[in-house]
Amino acid sequence: MGVNYQTVLWNRNKKIYDRWIGLSMLIYLISFIGLTFITNVQTSVETLIIRAFGTLAIVLLHIILVIGPLSRINTRFLPLLYNRRHLGVSMFLAALIHGGFSLFQFHTLGNVNPIYALFSSNMDYNSLKNFPFQVLGFFALIILFLMAATSHDFWLKNLSAKSWKRLHMMVYFAYALIIMHVFLGSFQQQPSLWSTAILSFGFVVITALHISTGSKERKLDHIKTTDTNEGWDYVCDIDEIPEDRAKIFIVDNERIAVFKYNNKLSAISNVCKHQGGPLGEGKVVDGCVTCPWHGYQYLPHNGQSPPPFTEQVSTYRLKLIDKKVYVSPKALPEGTEVDPVIFNN
């Protein structure tokens, strides 16, 4: 972290990204409302708002969930990942409007607490066609709220990286709840071939993307070097590493990045402290390794972020024998200074 926190670390790219989010959401809502008026004039305003914002939230969630694996497949998708946080918060706001209006429409205006009514109006948990689907939506909204509320670097630091990550991985559980909320809810009341097919297709695509990219990455984890030299593992030939870039190597199932810069070689952990981005896919800019995801930086010789930032990653010792780069597989404590290997061109 730096000297202080900002509400949003605005920059030109984020502003462009956010304008696109706003515009796309507006276009979607106008199109949805327009289409509904053409096909079903009798729809009430409340029903229209509930459906418009509900479907918008689902569309946004699908986009959010494909960004990660798509970025692994092709770096062209990295710009989408850069400000995914704002996309997530926007999705939550759409879901909140949907949930709020639904609660008002179906469970208020009586003499019962609306949340109590939500849970008690239908308790047919044994039935699939009459399942209390509203409860699923309620819990999904709680998860999305906690995620949106903690989408700030303050929480990343103060909740501990592990807790924050665990909380944000609950998006997958929320996704499952939302899918079932739709299939056991509106698809039971108004079955529609097209809607069922579209949502099923979305689910298949997302699942397939995550599983396939995960399998691809997992294969890399199991790669072991066969060339060792007195306990040092062979990484690659020095010419294989581009200038100001890195070669990613696997040591004990973990990835490290060996960077070449200014006739020097240094090795650090491949995992960015911010949100786990692949440092080895980044560049050396102004003497600092720069994460391709959000631009966090680390000095290559000690794994420390330049002041006033305080993040640190593990470092590794290297040696060069006849143009062959070897790494000592033992990770040094985060922020440990290691003399870079100096070579002549």
Partner 1 sequence: MLIIIEIFVNLLLGYFIFGLLFGIYFFIKGAFKLDELIIESKWTVRLLLLPGAIGLWPLLLMKIIRKTTTK
Partner 2 sequence: MTSGLRKTHRFIWITLGLLVSSLIALSTIATKKPLEIDKDFSVVSKHKTQRAVFEDAYFVINLNEKNELNNLEIILKKPLKSASSLVYGYSNNSKNLLGSIDTKGRYTFTIDKLTTSIAIYDEIKKTNIAKIKL
Binding site for partner 1 (CB under 8 A): 1-7, 113, 115-116, 119-120, 123, 145-146, 148-150, 152, 154-155, 157-159, 163
State the nearest-atom distance from the C-beta of 73 to partner 1, in Å.
32
State the nearest-atom distance from the C-beta of 96 to partner 1, in Å.
11
Residue 215 contact, options partner 2, partner 1, none, Cβ 5-8 Å cut-off depending on partner type: partner 2
Residue 319 contact, options partner 1, partner 2, none, Cβ 5-8 Å cut-off depending on partner type: none
Widest CA span in the chain: 83
Distance CA 22, CA 275 (A): 25
The pair phi, psi for residue 317, each rounded to 5°, is -85, 145
Question: Applying CB under 8 A, does 130 fall inside the site for partner 2?
Answer: yes
Residue 211 contact, options partner 2, partner 1, none, Cβ 5-8 Å cut-off depending on partner type: partner 2
Tell me which residue has tokens 């939500």.
118
Question: Applying CB under 8 A, does 125 fall inside the site for partner 2?
Answer: no
Residue 175 contact, options partner 2, partner 1, none, Cβ 5-8 Å cut-off depending on partner type: partner 2
Q: Do 185 and 137 meet the contact criterion of CB atoms below 8 Å apart? A: yes
Q: Do 143 and 171 meet the contact criterion of CB atoms below 8 Å apart? A: yes
The CA distances from residue 291 to 70, 129, 134, 164, 296, in Å, are 17, 48, 41, 20, 5
Distance CA 271, CA 216 (A): 18
- Strands of 209-253 (E only): list them: 228-229, 232-237, 245-251
State the nearest-atom distance from the C-beta of 93 to partner 1, in Å.
12
First and final CA of the chain: distance in angstroms? 37
Residue 165 contact, options partner 2, partner 1, none, Cβ 5-8 Å cut-off depending on partner type: partner 2
Q: Which of 13, 158, 163, 253 binds partner 2 (CB under 8 A)?
A: 253
Residue 148 contact, options partner 1, partner 2, none, Cβ 5-8 Å cut-off depending on partner type: partner 1
State the nearest-atom distance from the C-beta of 160 to partner 1, in Å.
9
Amino acid, single-letter form, for residue 114: P
Q: Do 301 and 284 meet the contact criterion of CB atoms below 8 Å apart? A: no
What is the number of other CB atoms lying within 10 angstroms of the CB of residue 4?
A: 6
Q: Which residues bind partner 2 (CB under 8 A)?
A: 39, 42, 105-107, 109-112, 117, 121-122, 127-131, 134, 165, 169, 172, 175-176, 179-180, 183-184, 187-196, 200, 203, 207, 210-211, 214-215, 217-218, 221, 253-254, 271, 276, 278
